[in-house]
Amino acid sequence: MKNQYLHIKSKELNFKAKLLWDDAPETCEAILKILPLTGKLMQTRWSGFGVWIELGEVEIDEVPFENNTIYLAKGEIMFYPGFESMKEIVIPYDKVAFASKAGLHPANHFATIEDLSDVSELGRRVIEEGLQPVIFDIK
């Protein structure tokens, strides 16, 4: 059976995100292969109310666009395969229109956080305190 959840931890904040295997199977598979993933979350620069982790040196499988969108709501986690900019994972803490300095980009919505109660707090911490540690993993 495929793992159904991605677990995300930043300090004492814990999130459980349902993987969207039916909508983004290749993206889910590629993300699971790079876990556990540790890094720092930062505020999105162009996209609105989201935090992101750059995957710069991470070796990740090439994936096609699948379940792609530009607009994401709170808790809808996306992976951008890096066609026009760098590879990254974005966690919206409110509305996001995914973009870079080159303009809007579609990205793959591959997981959704189930309990949104602390997602805004994660965004607040990134804005007020700066970079926040993060671990993406499965249990």
Tell me the mean pLDDT in the region 41-67: 91
Mean pLDDT throughout 43-53? 90
Q: Residue 16 pLDDT > 90, yes or no?
A: yes
HEC readout, 9-64: EECCEEEEEEECCCCCHHHHHHHHHCCCEEEEEEECCCCEEEEEEECCCCCCCCCC
Three state DSSP letters for 78-113:
EEECCCCCCCEEEEEEEEEECEECCEECCEEEEEEE
pLDDT of residue 45: 82
Q: For 22-40, write each residue's pLDDT tens digit.
A: 999 999 999 999 999 999 9
Query: Do the beta carbons of residue 6 and residue 31 sit within 8 Å?
Result: yes
**What is the predicted pLDDT for the residue at 37?**
97
For the chain, state the CA radius of gyration. Answer: 13
Query: What's the pLDDT tens digit per position in 86-108?
Result: 889 999 999 998 887 777 888 99
pLDDT in tens, 63-79: 999 999 999 999 999 99
Q: Is the pLDDT of residue 1 over 70?
A: no
Q: Where are the domains of the chain?
A: 5-137
The fraction of the chain above a pLDDT of 70, given in percent, is 97
CATH architecture of 5-137: Beta Barrel (2.40)
Per-residue pLDDT at 112: 98
How far apart, in whole angstroms, are the C-alpha atoms of residue 21 and residue 111? 9
Closest CA to 104 of 76, 74, 83, 126: 83
